Chains A and B, each alone.
Chain A
Amino acid sequence: MDIQVIKRYGKIAGLLGYALFVAFSFWKGYEPGMDMGKSLGYFTVEMLKILPPAFVLIGLFEVWVKRETVERHFGSQAGLRGHIGGILLAGTTVGGLYVAFPVAYSLYRKGADLGVIFTYIGASAICRVPMTIFEASFLGLKFSIIRLSVSIPLVILTSSALGRYLTKMNYRFEHGG
Chain B
Amino acid sequence: MGLRWTKQGLGGYKLIYLYAVVALALACSFFADRAKTYKALKITSKKFCKILPAFAGMLVLVSMVLTLVPNELVVRYLGRSNMPTGTLVASFFGSITLMPGFIAYPLCGILLQKGVSYTVISAFTTTLMMVGFVTFPIEKKYFGTKVTIVRNLLSFFIALVVAVMTGIFFGEIFPWIFK
Q: Does B95 contact A (CB under 8 A)?
A: no
21 sample A-B contacts, Cβ–Cβ < 8 Å, listed by A number: A15-B60, A33-B67, A35-B70, A36-B64, A40-B62, A43-B63, A53-B22, A59-B44, A60-B29, A64-B40, A97-B129, A98-B135, A101-B142, A105-B143, A118-B151, A130-B14, A134-B101, A135-B105, A139-B118, A139-B125, A146-B166
Q: Does B158 contact A (CB under 8 A)?
A: yes
Quick one: CB contact mask for A144-169 with B, threshold 8 Å, 1 for yes?
Answer: 00110011001100100010001000
A121 to B64, CA, bound (A): 25
Which of B15, B41, B105, B169 has a CB less than 8 Å from the CB of A139? B105
Chain A: which residue is nearest B29 at the CB level? A60
Of the four ranges (under 10, 10 to 19, 20 to 34, 35 or more), the interface on chain B belongs to 35 or more
Q: Does A131 contact B (CB under 8 A)?
A: yes
A102 to B46, CA, bound (A): 12
B4: shortest Cβ distance to chain A, in Å?
A: 10
Quick one: CB contact mask for A163-177 with B, threshold 8 Å, 1 for yes?
Answer: 000100001011101
Interface of B is mostly: helix
Q: Does A143 contact B (CB under 8 A)?
A: yes
The reply to whether A143 and B118 form a contact with Cβ atoms under 8 Å apart is: yes
Q: Does A62 contact B (CB under 8 A)?
A: yes
Q: Which residues of A contact B40 (CB under 8 A)?
A: 56, 59-60, 62-64
Q: Which residues of A contact B73 (CB under 8 A)?
A: none
The reply to whether B165 and A173 form a contact with Cβ atoms under 8 Å apart is: no
The reply to whether A162 and B151 form a contact with Cβ atoms under 8 Å apart is: yes
8 more A-B contacts (CB under 8 A) besides A11-B57, A55-B47, A143-B170? A35-B66, A40-B62, A59-B40, A59-B43, A122-B130, A146-B170, A151-B159, A166-B147
Chain A: which residue is nearest B48 at the CB level? A55
The reply to whether A94 and B129 form a contact with Cβ atoms under 8 Å apart is: no
The reply to whether B121 and A60 form a contact with Cβ atoms under 8 Å apart is: no
Q: Which of A18, A104, A158 is most buried by chain B, counting CB atoms within 10 A of its CB?
A: A158
The reply to whether A40 and B59 form a contact with Cβ atoms under 8 Å apart is: yes
Which of A44, A46, A131, A177 has a CB less than 8 Å from the CB of B101? A131
Q: Which residues of B contact A158 (CB under 8 A)?
A: 154, 158
